[in-house]
């Protein structure tokens, strides 16, 4: 619950604090004040500070757009994209749809016996013993689970009803949906006969959702055998588990136990609802696999691309020691490239340049790391007849992936050896692949003929007030030389919360500044992208999920206002307003791929507490503005720190309505603390008219 309005204003965020709108759902703690005095103080505070969102104060502004083609400038076609990092269980237990956690029993380490968390036993030590050993058939991940069943089907030592065995709860519960089909696979070895029930059940095992029985005669599974089958659930349960049970005594070994939904995004293993949220943003690039995740706290646990390709069961997995959880690397180098292709986005690979957060390889011995990167590019782009291109082709993708961006390291410019090592990576990559654009961790001041770069990486994490002021961050940047790649930006601190309206508005103003400076800024993406609500290692994030739900934070919905900017034509504009410096705006023309119509989009961020009567004047249009078909879309809410949640996923989302006075001269009202888009339908030679919906909802 938000706190009561207070006067004087809190200076914490550097902006005016907005009181929540009165609501029957909201109580106010009045302490020792009597009722009449309390109401008087609230009234005085509200009137004197004009704190209520939506109160029109008569502020007037003039916005003039030069929409002539000769003065327009094309925004880079990969301007806005997304950045994925394996943190907050974004991939493992998130975007990657595998339901079994620690499927290969490797998470406990190579020394046995080891911890098999989150696997647990069904039964007790009087009738079942489990332990890990190094008997797997996979050399790269040698750990397997040995299950010895001491009880039997009948007699004095009969197993409990339902049998004994093991179960896996997945990542905070498996979401099993009614009638949905799940693909199950596992490796089994046993010298005994086998009668094993493989079931999807409720978290307590009492509700059976689906069962398949594996039977085999003695000796049939004497060697490791892969077993695959489908399970179709009869009911829905959002906190389910997988269990393997038997009433037959003997010893069974298990390895690489997997449960995957059959209907993943594009059939490539991605959780459909989460991948769809990414697709709806129309990202033009995908930067992966992270920032610190690429490095690791120690190189032992860094992301190594070559260990994350090939059959899933043969990947060793690794401990994500930066964010403190195990990943089986089902979401590996190949899958990231595949995801970029599925999203029609350009892949941007962040390479490990021989450095972790706590150690680094000196320049003199970096050659092996350089070769590893060249091999990785060959895997992505090489002909199927090449060494690494053939591995990609064997994985089902003979066509090369369009990998044209490489980011060398992650925020490492200040580290010893970085510049020396960077030049070696740069030279080797350009020698083999001159068309690849290379991104440096150093800023523009450190880039020179001896330390060249096509782009330089910029990270911006700051308060909402400072983020708003950074709308002019690149105004004074030299207009020649390498371009900026703002690969990570986010409002952080107290006013960011878990994703607030004010954070989204500040970031929107920042992005408007990037649009205006898109002659020196080529690409931009927010961070972080995903968070599993059960593991909030970093907040805020754009998309929140658990095993069965998801929602977009306000900044996710803010990004929809920019998804048509890449490749659009930017037009110069001016804003004239007295004593009010809380507006940021941009204007561009874009074509809707769904209906072929062309729009003039005017975006306005009002970061202040006053409603603005905005007079818009558009000059230089080659085609006029149609009387009907224009759309106004607004992102705002009743309180600056309003957030979305599982309970209220649509509390802060865009709202679209028709513009009834669309024209080259028009007056509009811009709400306080809001992001507003005016999509003005331009005249064409066709009779196509759009439905009453904005560009947001055309792909949602």
Q: Is residue 528 pLDDT above 80, yes or no?
A: yes
Q: Is residue 689 pLDDT above 50, yes or no?
A: no
For residue 674, what are the β-bridge partners? Answer: 606
**pLDDT at residue 674, rounded to an integer:** 98
Cα separation of 266 and 246, whole Å? 36
Q: Are strands 318-320 and 583-591 parallel, antiparallel or unpaired?
A: unpaired
Band (pLDDT 50/70/90 cuts) for residue 156 is confident
Contacts of the segment 23-26: beta carbons below 8 A, 24+ positions apart: 23/638, 26/1, 26/2
Section 513-542 average pLDDT: 97
Contact 511, 482 (CB under 8 A): no
Contact 244, 167 (CB under 8 A): yes
**pLDDT at residue 416, rounded to an integer:** 87
Cα separation of 457 and 484, whole Å? 6
Section 175-202 average pLDDT: 98
Specify the higher pLDDT residue, 475 or 450.
475
Section 486-499 average pLDDT: 96
Cα separation of 376 and 386, whole Å? 12
Of residues 14, 18, 13, the one with CA closest to residue 640: 18
| Residues 17, 22, 27: CA angle, nearest 5 degrees | 95
Contact 376, 408 (CB under 8 A): no
User: Tokens standing for 214?
Assistant: 């594996």
| Cα dist from 685 to 393, 545, 624, 690, 694, whole Å | 47, 45, 11, 15, 21
pLDDT in tens, 499-524: 999 999 999 999 999 999 999 999 99
User: Tokens standing for 647?
Assistant: 């309970």
**pLDDT at residue 58, rounded to an integer:** 65
Q: Are strands 455-462 and 483-491 parallel, antiparallel or unpaired?
A: parallel
- Is-cis flag, bond preceding 540, omega within 30? yes
Of residues 179, 30, 81, 172, the one with CA closest to residue 533: 172
Residues contacting residue 301 through CB under 8 Å, at least 6 positions apart: 318, 319, 320, 321, 322, 356
Section 282-286 average pLDDT: 98
Contact 382, 400 (CB under 8 A): yes
Section 576-585 average pLDDT: 96
* Sequence-ordered strand ranges (E) for 400-482: 405-408, 437-440, 455-462
Of residues 587, 597, 528, 523, the one with CA closest to residue 561: 587
**pLDDT at residue 50, rounded to an integer:** 36
Of residues 65, 62, 60, the one with CA closest to residue 612: 60
Cα separation of 326 and 108, whole Å? 9
User: Tokens standing for 552?
Assistant: 């977009």
- Is-cis flag, bond preceding 528, omega within 30? yes
Backbone angles phi and psi of 50, in degrees to 5:
50, 60
Specify the higher pLDDT residue, 46 or 55.
55
Q: Is residue 2 pLDDT above 50, yes or no?
A: no
| Residues 443, 449, 453: CA angle, nearest 5 degrees | 45
**pLDDT at residue 700, rounded to an integer:** 42
User: Tokens standing for 439?
Assistant: 């991104």
Starting from the edge strand earliest in sequence, which strands make up the sheet with 530-532, in order? Answer: 530-532, 543-545, 550-552
pLDDT in tens, 408-427: 999 999 998 999 999 999 99
Q: DSSP string spanning 331-362?
A: S-HHHHHHHHHHTT-EEEEEEP-SB-SS-B--
Q: DSSP string spanning 630-645?
A: -EEEEE--SSTT-B--
Distance, CA of 171 to chain centre: 18
Backbone angles phi and psi of 48, in degrees to 5:
-75, -30
Contact 12, 494 (CB under 8 A): yes
The per-residue pLDDT of the chain, averaged, comes to 91
Contact 577, 57 (CB under 8 A): no
Q: Is residue 273 pLDDT above 70, yes or no?
A: yes
Instruction: Give the up-direction half-sphere exposure of residue 24: CA atoms within 13 A in the CB hemisphere.
Output: 0
- DSSP conformational letter for 455: E
Contact 295, 352 (CB under 8 A): yes
**pLDDT at residue 162, rounded to an integer:** 92
**pLDDT at residue 593, rounded to an integer:** 86
Lowest mean pLDDT across 44-58, 99-113, 156-170, 655-669: 44-58
What the chain holds in terms of domains, given with CATH numbers, is: 59-77+568-681 (2.60.40.1180), 81-95+265-560 (3.20.20.80), 120-261 (2.60.120.260)
Burial 387-402 (b: 16+ CB within 10 A, else e): ebbbbbbeeebeebbe
Contact 562, 568 (CB under 8 A): no
Cα separation of 317 and 562, whole Å? 36
pLDDT in tens, 14-29: 343 433 433 333 333 3
Cα separation of 57 and 613, whole Å? 9
**pLDDT at residue 193, rounded to an integer:** 96
Q: Treating both helix axes as pointing N-terminal to C-terminal, what angle do 387-394 and 367-381 enclose, rounded to 10 degrees?
A: 50
Continuous H helices in 470-568: 501-516, 554-559
Share of the chain above pLDDT 90, in %: 86
Q: Is residue 64 pLDDT above 60, yes or no?
A: yes
Section 666-694 average pLDDT: 79
Residues contacting residue 40 through CB under 8 Å, at least 6 positions apart: none
Cα separation of 610 and 608, whole Å? 6
Cα separation of 172 and 536, whole Å? 13
Q: Is residue 374 pLDDT above 90, yes or no?
A: yes
Contact 622, 580 (CB under 8 A): no
**pLDDT at residue 155, rounded to an integer:** 84
Section 671-698 average pLDDT: 71
| Residues 255, 261, 264: CA angle, nearest 5 degrees | 120
**pLDDT at residue 685, rounded to an integer:** 59
For residue 597, what are the β-bridge partners? Answer: none
User: Tokens standing for 105?
Assistant: 């029993």
**pLDDT at residue 195, rounded to an integer:** 97
Cα separation of 471 and 139, whole Å? 53
Of residues 136, 171, 338, the one with CA closest to residue 259: 171
pLDDT in tens, 292-313: 999 999 999 999 999 999 999 9
Contact 617, 585 (CB under 8 A): no
| Cα dist from 233 to 197, 259, 392, whole Å | 15, 13, 34
**pLDDT at residue 373, rounded to an integer:** 98
Of residues 292, 291, 293, 366, the one with CA closest to residue 326: 293
Q: Is residue 55 pLDDT above 60, yes or no?
A: no
* Sequence-ordered strand ranges (E) for 11-163: 59-66, 73-74, 82-83, 120-122, 128-133, 144-149
| Residues 344, 346, 351: CA angle, nearest 5 degrees | 140
């Amino acid at each position: 619950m938000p706190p009561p309005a207070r006067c004087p204003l809190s200076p914490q965020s550097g902006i005016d604090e907005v009181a929540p709108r009165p609501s029957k759902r909201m109580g106010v703690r009045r302490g020792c004040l009597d009722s009449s005095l309390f109401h008087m103080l609230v009234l005085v505070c509200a009137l004197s500070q004009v704190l209520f969102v939506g109160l029109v104060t008569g502020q007037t502004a003039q916005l003039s757009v030069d929409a002539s083609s000769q003065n327009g400038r094309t925004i880079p076609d990969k301007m806005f994209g997304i950045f994925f990092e394996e943190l907050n269980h974004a991939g493992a237990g998130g975007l990657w749809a595998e339901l079994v956690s620690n499927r290969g029993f490797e998470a406990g380490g190579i020394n046995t016996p080891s911890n098999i968390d989150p696997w647990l036993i069904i039964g007790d030590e009087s009738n079942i013993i489990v332990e890990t050993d190094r008997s797997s058939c996979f050399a790269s991940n040698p750990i397997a689970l040995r299950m010895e069943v001491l009880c039997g089907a009948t007699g004095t030592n009969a197993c409990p009803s339902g049998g004994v065995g093991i179960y896996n709860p997945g990542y905070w519960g498996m979401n099993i949906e009614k009638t949905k089909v799940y693909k199950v696979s596992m490796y089994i070895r046993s010298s005994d006969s086998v009668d094993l029930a493989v079931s999807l059940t409720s978290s307590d095992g009492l509700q059976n959702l689906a069962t398949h029985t594996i039977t085999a005669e003695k000796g049939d599974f004497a060697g490791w055998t892969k077993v695959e089958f489908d399970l179709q659930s009869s009911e829905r349960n959002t906190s389910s588990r997988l269990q393997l049970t038997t009433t037959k005594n003997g010893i069974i070994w298990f390895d690489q136990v997997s449960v995957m939904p059959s209907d993943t995004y594009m059939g490539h293993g991605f959780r459909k609802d989460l991948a769809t949220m990414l697709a709806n943003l129309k990202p033009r690039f995908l930067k992966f696999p992270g920032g610190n995740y690429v490095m690791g706290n120690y190189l032992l646990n860094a992301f190594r691309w070559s260990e994350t390709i090939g059959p899933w069961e043969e990947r060793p997995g690794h401990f994500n020691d930066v964010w403190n959880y195990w990943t089986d690397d089902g979401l590996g180098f190949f899958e990231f490239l595949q995801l970029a292709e599925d999203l029609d986005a350009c892949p941007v690979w962040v390479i490990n340049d021989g450095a972790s957060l706590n150690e680094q390889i000196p320049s003199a011995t970096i050659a092996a790391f350089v070769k590893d990167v060249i091999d990785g590019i060959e895997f992505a782009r090489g002909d199927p007849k090449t060494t690494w291109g053939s591995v990609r082709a064997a994985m089902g993708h003979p066509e090369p992936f369009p990998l044209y961006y490489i980011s060398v390291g992650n925020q490492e410019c200040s580290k010893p050896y970085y510049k020396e090592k960077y030049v070696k990576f740069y030279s080797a990559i350009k020698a083999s692949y001159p068309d690849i654009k290379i991104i440096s961790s150093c800023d523009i001041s450190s880039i020179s003929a001896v330390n060249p770069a096509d782009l330089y990486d910029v990270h911006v994490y700051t308060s909402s007030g400072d983020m708003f002021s950074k709308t002019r961050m690149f105004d004074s940047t030299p207009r020649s030389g390498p371009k900026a790649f703002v690969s990570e930006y986010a409002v952080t601190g107290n006013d960011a919360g878990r994703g607030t309206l004010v954070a989204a508005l500040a970031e929107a103003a920042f992005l408007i500044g990037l649009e205006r400076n898109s002659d020196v800024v080529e690409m931009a993406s927010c961070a972080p992208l995903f968070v599993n609500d059960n593991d909030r290692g970093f907040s805020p994030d754009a998309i929140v999920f658990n095993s069965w739900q998801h929602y977009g934070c306000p900044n996710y919905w803010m990004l929809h206002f920019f998804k048509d900017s890449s490749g659009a034509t930017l037009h110069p504009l001016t804003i004239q307003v007295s004593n009010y410096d809380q507006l940021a705006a941009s204007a561009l023309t874009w074509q809707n791929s769904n209906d072929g119509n062309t729009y003039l989009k005017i975006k306005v961020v009002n970061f202040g507490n006053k409603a603005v009567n905005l007079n818009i004047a558009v000059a230089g249009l080659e085609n006029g503005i149609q009387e009907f078909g224009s759309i106004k879309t607004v992102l705002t809410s009743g309180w600056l720190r309003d957030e979305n949640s599982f309970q209220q996923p649509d509390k802060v989302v865009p709202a679209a309505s028709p513009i009834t006075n669309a024209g080259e001269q028009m007056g509009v009202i811009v709400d306080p603390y809001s992001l507003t888009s005016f999509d003005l339908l331009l005249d064409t030679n066709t009779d196509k008219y759009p439905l009453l919906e904005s560009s947001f909802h055309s792909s949602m």
